[in-house]
Structure 1
Amino acid sequence: MKTPRLPSIGEIMIVLLLFLAVVVSFALIFELPIQLALFISWFIVIALGIRLGYKYDFLQKAITKGIGNGLEAILILLAVGALIGTWISGGIVPSLIYYGLEFINPTFFLLATLVICSITSVATGTSWGTVGTAGIAMMAIGEGMGMPLPLVAGAVISGAYFGDKLSPLSDSTILSASMAKVDVIAHVRAMLYLDIPAYIVTSILFTIAGFMYGGNNFDSERVEFLKSSLHDVFQINVWMLVPMVVVIVLLALKKPSLPSIAVGSLLGVVWGVLFQDLSVSTAFHTAYSGFSIESDITFITELLNRGGIESMVGSIIVIIFGLGFGGLLEELGVLKVLLSKFEQFLINAGNVTTATIFTGLLGNIFGCAMYVSLILTPKIMQDSYDRLKINRLVLARNSEVGGTLTSGMVPWTDNGIFLTTILGVSTFAYLPFMWLSFVSIIIAIIYGYTGKFIWYTTDENKNVS
């Protein structure tokens, strides 16, 4: 019987190059679904596994184990789909858009987008929920004000990711802390040393961009037309915002994400029946199939015809295939072998920080899901931190920067597919404006090489207070 072995660097490079060739050709040349490319990629890695001496049954279990690690994300995504559909049909999202057009100054719109999405994400602990509700509203308001939509998407994503990294309710925050074996609250404190300066810089950048674009294409007559169009289709008043407040309160009270979002979806159904004159059947149907309306106004049809569990199927398939692919990579030791080739260079905090962020990016590129990256990166890098006696709080922080903040940069990840689907802007269009991600990466690397806010296990105070 053949004893399984680790892959060689040559075998790994062939497999990863084949993976990239399949994914890129399917997406850019043949314009075929990325999900099909990921499914085919399973068998590329399975072939490697068999060559290494593993039985097929073992490899299949590696796939199911990887998928199992991300089932919570799939369940939450289903709930978010239902939430989007019912909150549009129930008038919650249209009311947010209306009041945004009414009160937000165009010059400070991008800054307001960043802040509103940040607050929502911190309070709820879900970047997907934030993008699917407040994010859709801000995209619609930006469209109404004549703002470049990729720039608006960048502000939405930056705000959503800020909260997703800092909220103790966030699944990615909890996962990063647990994989690095540190306390969640201590991890959040450690993140503050990085996130606060990154947020200040990002806020300044979006403020400058607001002054550049805020007054150029603003048409007050168009804004009034869009507001009246929303009024013609939906009943608009402040009571429409109650379901959003309820969900934020539930999540702020640390209630589980899935039932809290489901309660919000149910309230959207109730609001659709009570305020938007929908039948009970129609209101419930929007939870599954999303909101749909025929209108001569492009603004209404393009930005509000969305949502529902059905709309999330594509993203869920990406997550399933991505998690299975990541499970195979983990069991075969692919990323660990790659990192071992650079281990001789991991001699200081700066190099280790850079390697951690790069590993997180690789986890997203080849694991196709943020969860894969956040699970693999701490596992792969922990020995290097322990050898240099760097506190694992730094490991958790760098894993978040490399895993969470780069996930939306890759078109075939769970985040990349979700953001493109919900915001209606391609990954490569919004990528240059993911300013919080880029600033955070730069600051993390600066901290690593300067030793600023890098804690060691030999320090008297081993925890961040």
Structure 2
Amino acid sequence: MTYPPAALPSLRQVLLLAVAIIGVIFLFVQAMALPIHLALFVSWFLVIGLGKWLGQDYASMQKAITTGIHKGMVAVLVLIAVGALIGSWMAGGIVPGIIYYGLAAMSPEWFLPAAFVICAITSLATGTSFGTIGTAGIAMMGIGAGFGMPLPIVAGAAICGAYVGDKMSPLSDTTVMTASLCEVKLVEHIKSMFTVSGPAILITFVLFVVAGLFYQPDGDISQAQQAMTALDSHFVIAWFSLLPAAIVIGLLVLHMPAVPVICFGALLGVCWAALFQGVDIVAAIRTLYSGNQIESNLDFLNILLNRGGMSSMFEVIILVLFALGLGGLMDQTGVLTVISERLRRWASSPGKLGVSTVFAGFLGNFLGGAAYVSLITASTITRKNYDQMGIDRRVLSRNTEAGGTITTPMVPWTDGGVFMATTLGVATVSYLPFLWYHFLVLAISVFYGFAGIAMWQNDGRQAEPVSS
């Protein structure tokens, strides 16, 4: 529950605040090479200052911070669980086993599209991009490194696949949440999204096929052979190495709760480390917190496999908390209200309506730091315009997911952006150019609005394109 603001800020004040926050982020991160955590922390006080200027009392703004953080606590729990799972799965030979068999079965020229498809299938089956990246995504990074592929494009392929399911799966929390916020039946929401995601998936697959032809290691797979030899020397690689991954994916497919399932998977990793890898039971349990530690003669394997543990997620969690708190402050001080009202007035045609919804979702991620915030801003800001124009809520829900869910890993300080960068070991700005699925979904969503494609009216007819 938020307290009503004493007064709404003017548009000029909102713009000045936005410029100040962007300036602080640039100064801290680019100019002084300081952690972005500090930039977001300082941004809290910029918003609090605006709130005091408008007559807000500090107690209400502090309450807004805690309320905003509370909305993202599920993501924090998932981050902790995934960190534990990564640590024990490394020590238990589960991820090394997937990498080993992947290097043996895949060919370099087909690796990128295969990585995209594998992560897409995993995310569709499980409904979680975090779980997909924490398991299949890490494995794809290892296989790609073994083939000598540039890691940013490998990360791009994995993230693109992971967000296919995060956006489309009926098991995804963001998919269910968006359908609920927009008051659309879940099946109808997914059907509407497929009109955009279907072409985007196909084009993305083709792009990764073409990219795979350019990034081939010219037939030299010696690095892959070296990686397989190193893995075989450090781990017991066998078919049973894959069982925990199959069990976890199976439980998620059955729509079991994500946090306990991932924790159970982490426990299986401890058992596998003790039973099959000869790791002392205390050391195996310690990997849940501290992650895995090995020494090989290949630097990229050391970097890839020496990771995980709850402790590896602490910086991510702190950043997510700061971002969520900032989003709560933005809501309490009326900043989001002013922006939403301006966007609502501007969205006077179906084309502008699509742009405003997508932009509102991006803004929710940029200022609120989480998909949950962005879905709320995108679904509420221009909802009245859809109803007034007679455009079906299925279009609203589709555009909400495009602006909210899809843009989450594109912003460095969102929960999704930080998780992807930390887990895969590739900075957001490095993998961003390869998020082809994401860019295509955004572009097609906006194009449909201006072209009048799949813009259904409330009576089921196709809306006519309106010049903007």
Match of 1:247 in 2: 248
Q: Give the Cα–Cα distance (whole angstroms) in 1 for the partners of residues 5 and 424 of structure 2.
A: 49
Residue 406 of structure 2: SS of its match in structure 1?
Answer: helix
Offset, 1:124: 1.3
Checking the alignment, whether the CA contact within 8 Å between 2:357 and 2:400 is kept in structure 1 is yes
Q: Is 2:464 the partner of 1:441? A: no
Q: Describe how 1:24-423 pairs up with structure 2 within 5 A.
A: 24-216=26-218, 218-423=219-424
Q: Give the Cα–Cα distance (whole angstroms) in 2 for the partners of residues 127 and 460 of structure 1.
A: 35
Report the residue type matching 1:272 in the other structure: A
Match of 2:465 in 1: none
Offset, 1:189: 2.1
Offset, 1:12: 0.8
Report the residue type matching 2:362 in the other structure: L
Offset, 1:453: 1.4
Return 5+ residue gaps in structure 1 as ranges: none
Offset, 1:215: 4.3
Report the residue type matching 1:236 in the other structure: I
Report the residue type matching 2:124 in the other structure: V
Offset, 1:383: 1.8
Checking the alignment, whether the CA contact within 8 Å between 1:22 and 1:41 is kept in structure 2 is yes
Report the residue type matching 1:197 in the other structure: P
Match of 2:11 in 1: 9
Q: Give the Cα–Cα distance (whole angstroms) in 2 for the partners of residues 93 and 377 of structure 1.
A: 37
Q: Could you tell me the percent identity over the aligned residues? A: 47
Q: Give the Cα–Cα distance (whole angstroms) in 2 for the partners of residues 25 and 39 of structure 1.
A: 13
TM-score normalized by structure 1?
0.95
Match of 1:432 in 2: 433
Checking the alignment, whether the CA contact within 8 Å between 1:272 and 1:283 is kept in structure 2 is yes
Q: Give the Cα–Cα distance (whole angstroms) in 2 for the partners of residues 112 and 295 of structure 1.
A: 27
Checking the alignment, whether the CA contact within 8 Å between 2:252 and 2:261 is kept in structure 1 is yes
Report the residue type matching 1:71 in the other structure: M
Q: Give the Cα–Cα distance (whole angstroms) in 1 for the partners of residues 161 and 269 of structure 2.
A: 24
Q: Give the Cα–Cα distance (whole angstroms) in 1 for the partners of residues 172 and 343 of structure 2.
A: 32
Report the residue type matching 1:100 in the other structure: G
Mean Cα deviation higher: 305-314 or 442-451: 442-451
Offset, 1:85: 0.8
Checking the alignment, whether the CA contact within 8 Å between 2:343 and 2:382 is kept in structure 1 is no
Offset, 1:169: 1.5
RMSD: 1.7
Report the residue type matching 2:189 in the other structure: H
Offset, 1:267: 0.8
Residue 33 of structure 2: SS of its match in structure 1?
Answer: coil
Offset, 1:222: 2.2
1:205-248 deviation line (CA, Å, top 9, x unaligned): 000111121243x4222221110100011111111111111111
1:73-92 deviation line (CA, Å, top 9, x unaligned): 11111111111111111111
Q: How many residues align?
A: 460
Offset, 1:27: 1.1
Offset, 1:460: 7.5
Offset, 1:28: 1.0
Return 5+ residue gaps in structure 2 as ranges: 463-468
Offset, 1:410: 1.6
1:230-270 deviation line (CA, Å, top 9, x unaligned): 00111111111111111111111111111111111111111
Offset, 1:310: 0.7
